[in-house]
Amino acid sequence: MSVSLPESLAAFSSGLRGACLTTANPGYDKARGIWNALADKRPAIIVQCTGAGDVMDAVKFARKHALVIAVRGGGHNVAGNATCDDGMVVDLSRMNAVRVDPDARRARAGGNVFRLNQNIRPRAP
């Protein structure tokens, strides 16, 4: 299945802060790849979110067009659940900001929590 509503897709992608990729875009094949190469799937749309607004808009668009959604954090899910065929991949890998408040013992992390570990490990004096 490909999204057969190019005007709707164009309107959707123009409202995103991140990128919206389809098979027609350069970089699509690289963006669809995950760590487990056995999960070689071809989503109709890959939304490379940069914030919560992009995530909300992507979910609304997918729901409106009855697209299956796969969510990718770092792309390391062994079972291949971070991708799908013919649906939408909501890619959170660019949402990697981390804020640590050591006094409150609180950390806020984006959808890709890999950097969280880098930021909360004890540091040598």
Report the pLDDT averaged over residues 71-98.
Answer: 84
Longest dimension (CA), the chain: 58
CATH topology for 6-91? 3.30.43
Lowest mean pLDDT among 47-56, 90-99, 111-120: 111-120
Residues of the chain with CATH 3.30.43.10: 6-91
pLDDT value, residue 57: 96
**pLDDT in the model for residue 3:** 47
Instruction: Identify the pLDDT of residue 35.
Output: 81
Check whether 76 has a pLDDT greater than 80. Answer: no
Instruction: List C-alpha distances in Å: 109 to 30, 70, 71.
Output: 25, 20, 16
Q: What is the value of pTM for the model shown?
A: 0.80
